[in-house]
Amino acid sequence: MYMNKVAPKKSLRFMLMGWFLLFSIAPLAFLTGYSLVKYEQSLDQELSRRLSAHWREVDTLIKEYQKALMTDGRKLAQEKSLQSYLKLQQINGARDFIRSWMKTHYTHHLWVWDSAGQLQIAFHRNREGVIQRLDKMEVGNVYLSDLKSLQNKDTFLDVDVRAKNENGVVELMVFNTIKTDKGQVIAYLQQLVQLDEYFLQTIKNRLGVELVFFRPEQEKVVSTQVDLFSYPVSFFLTKAKQSPYFDLTLRNETFRFISHQLKWGTALLNMTIGVSKQMSKDVLRKVNVAFFSVVLGIIGLLIVLSVVSSRFLLRPLYAILEGIQNHDLEKELVALEVKNETELGLLASSFNEMAKRTFESKKNLKSKINELEIANQEIKETQAKLVHAAKMASLGQLVAGVAHELNNPIGFIYSNLGVLKENVEKLIVLVDIAEKNPSKLEKAKQEADFDYLVSDVPKLIASCEEGARRTRDIVIGLRNFSRLDEAQLKEVDLHEGLESTLQILSGELKNRITVHKDYGSLPKIYCYASQINQVFMNILSNATQAIEGLGDIFIKTQKVKNNKIKISIRDTGQGINLEHKDKIFDPFFTTKSSGQGTGLGLSISYSVIEKHGGDIEVYSEPGKGTEFIIFLPVKIK
């Protein structure tokens, strides 16, 4: 055993001081933090109550506008004099009547539209209260845009929010239908109150708030705060759905907002009101300073008390600590002297028993560690041999398949060359006769069947070229599969890897298994090409072995979300039994007979995919085939 040569007095003293401070300061810090959090929450609640009161006040004001406009509108629409003027088309008389009426009633705009929806009379009350006639609009062929909404209705309310740059206005409108005693529509009366910049600034200055108006179906907002114009309507709608209250920082100043909908007839108008939290923050900052000043004073006092008390409490322990420090337990077993039967004596006795057990346990542990290291080394060597055997078995299967594929084209090239040699010799003889004895040439051509030679030689050459091309394709496919020149991480086309693997397995697929390809548009990915090709080889080779007789293999590639590539390989083979499904990726697990498989193919494939940061999944049902799905990232992290 081994003990560091440290200053026990200092370490133990600091430890005791630390515990003392922990159990004294921690509750104090908790109470302080809890109190400050509660106080801050109280300030936020008070601010929220103020916001609610301001919102109700503005809401009440708008409802009073609505009530006044509806009452005034109904009375004006029922005025017999006005009805008579409009029915007789005495527009000047109706205009004078309305001007006189507006002097004793409150509305910003009052427009009269005829039964066809064309503007006849237009008055506007400016900010100074002067009533002005908008004669240019009266003669400008202005028509009511939403005439259908007024039909069959005596009263209709609508609201519009018009915002432009840093200015905007909310228009609260009330429409009344003017009818004769028999119910015939004479005209439409429109009253309009504008919540313009002057109105909003008045409310802002009186209540000390920021106002935002908008309609859910429109894109812009009207606000008293310039920075709020840049926020879309969707921002406020999202905030309102999450909570009626939310905080927002504007130019380094935090505001608390409340958002609700108010009704203007059947139209909905969203109103958001905010107040600055700066005053609350100032109050909270002063309270924090006061709290922390008191806490720091108390902490200082506790530190002084802990230093003084630790000196008296630790003095009896120093003797035991010095005895422990001066012995090297690594070389021999050391026992401390027990001087009394107090708690300190019990501590020394307990230490002696612990030291004895520790010394013996350490000796046994070293022995076990040595045995485990030897066993682990043997396991590693055995595993390496098995993996090598699996690779050699796969290599033997691969070489056998490639040799079989090469044998066919090379065989008919060899046989064609023999026939070609005979035909060329006959042609050489004919050429020699043509030079030396031309009179016998015709007979020699007939004997040699010259016409057949002329037609057969090109066919033999073309057949040899086809065999050579097939041989070259097999060799290129084998080279692409092995990717010996791409052992490093490199950008690779997965479709090329699949094609080269299928080329190598063509002998097992030919005349028995149909491969259906559904290749998507894939980017090139960064991977170890030879390792990925080995995964394709293991899965496709297993698929061919799982299909007895005729069958199909379906390969599908596509790019999916999270910047990943998905490769699906599905066969119509025997499938995997349920009791084997959870074990197929285990090393050395195989359902093949002895000598036909090592059980390492899928285990190695799983390790390769995991190394690339991907996933591999398997779906199978006995008698219905198996599907392997591989997910690979476009770039390894």
Strands (DSSP E) found in 548-614: 551-560, 564-571
What is residue 354's predicted lDDT score, i.e. its pLDDT?
Answer: 75
Instruction: Say which range, 317-321, 444-448, 486-490, has the weakest mean pLDDT.
Output: 317-321
Query: Residue 627 belongs to what H/E stretch?
Result: strand 626-633
Residues 208-215 have a mean pLDDT of 88
CA distance 271 to 268: 10
- Domains of the chain in start order, with CATH, are 106-280 (3.30.450.20), 489-637 (3.30.565.10)
At 105 the three-state DSSP class reads: coil
CA distance 507 to 406: 10
Picking from 315, 304, 301, the residue whose alpha carbon sits closest to that of residue 12 is 315
Q: Who's near 291: CB < 8 A, 6+ residues apart?
A: 32, 35, 36
Picking from 554, 564, 565, the residue whose alpha carbon sits closest to that of residue 626 is 554
Contact of 588 with 599, CB cutoff 8 Å: yes
Confidence band of 484 (pLDDT split at 50, 70, 90): very low
Contact of 486 with 506, CB cutoff 8 Å: no
The pLDDT tens digits for 345-395 are 677 677 677 767 777 777 788 888 888 888 778 777 766 666 555 555 555
What is residue 595's predicted lDDT score, i.e. its pLDDT?
Answer: 45
Neighbouring-strand partners of residue 358: none
What is residue 592's predicted lDDT score, i.e. its pLDDT?
Answer: 59
pLDDT > 70 fraction of the chain, expressed in percent and rounded: 74
CA 619 to each of CA 541, 589, 630: distance values in angstroms, whole numbers, following the listed order: 17, 18, 12
> How does the average pLDDT of the chain come out, rounded?
78
CA distance 530 to 608: 10
CA distance 517 to 540: 13
Q: Hey, what are 282's tokens? A: 């100032």
pLDDT surpasses 50 at 483 = no
Q: Hey, what are 65's tokens? A: 């506008």
Q: Hey, what are 39's tokens? A: 């106080």
Contact of 495 with 557, CB cutoff 8 Å: yes
The sign of the dihedral angle between the CA atoms of 251, 252, 258, 260 is positive
pLDDT surpasses 50 at 7 = no
Query: Residue 615 belongs to what H/E stretch?
Result: strand 615-620
Residues 68-73 have a mean pLDDT of 90
Q: Hey, what are 425's tokens? A: 């010799």
Which region holds residue 472: left if phi is over 0, alpha if psi is between -120 and 50, else beta? alpha
Q: Which residue did the predictor score with more confidence, 555 or 438?
A: 555
Which region holds residue 325: left if phi is over 0, alpha if psi is between -120 and 50, else beta? alpha
Picking from 440, 568, 62, the residue whose alpha carbon sits closest to that of residue 269 is 62
Contact of 262 with 283, CB cutoff 8 Å: no
Q: In three state form, how does the secondary structure of 385-405 look?
A: HHHHHHHHHHHHHHHHHHHHH
User: Whole-model pTM above 0.75?
Assistant: no
CA distance 176 to 75: 10
CA distance 84 to 88: 6
The pLDDT tens digits for 595-627 are 455 556 777 788 888 888 899 999 988 888 999
The pLDDT tens digits for 217-230 are 887 888 888 888 88
Rounded to 5 degrees, φ, ψ at 100 are -65, -40
Q: Which residue did the predictor score with more confidence, 578 or 125?
A: 125
What is residue 297's predicted lDDT score, i.e. its pLDDT?
Answer: 76
Amino acid at 601: G
Interhelix angle 343-436/529-546, nearest 10 degrees: 80
CA distance 381 to 215: 75
CA distance 336 to 122: 109
CB atoms within 10 A of CB 301: 11
pLDDT > 90 fraction of the chain, expressed in percent and rounded: 13
Q: Which residues of 32-54 are buried (b: 16+ CB within 10 A; e: fewer)?
A: beeeeeeebeebbeebeebbeeb
Instruction: Say which range, 117-126, 253-262, 404-413, 558-567, has the weakest mean pLDDT.
Output: 404-413
The pLDDT tens digits for 290-340 are 767 777 777 777 677 666 665 555 555 665 565 566 555 455 665 666 666
CA distance 279 to 611: 57
User: For residue 484, what is the DSSP state?
Assistant: G
Picking from 501, 470, 480, the residue whose alpha carbon sits closest to that of residue 407 is 470
End-to-end CA distance of the chain: 44
CA distance 245 to 238: 12
Picking from 100, 99, 57, 65, the residue whose alpha carbon sits closest to that of residue 173 is 65
CA distance 248 to 383: 63
Contact of 175 with 235, CB cutoff 8 Å: no
pLDDT surpasses 70 at 531 = yes
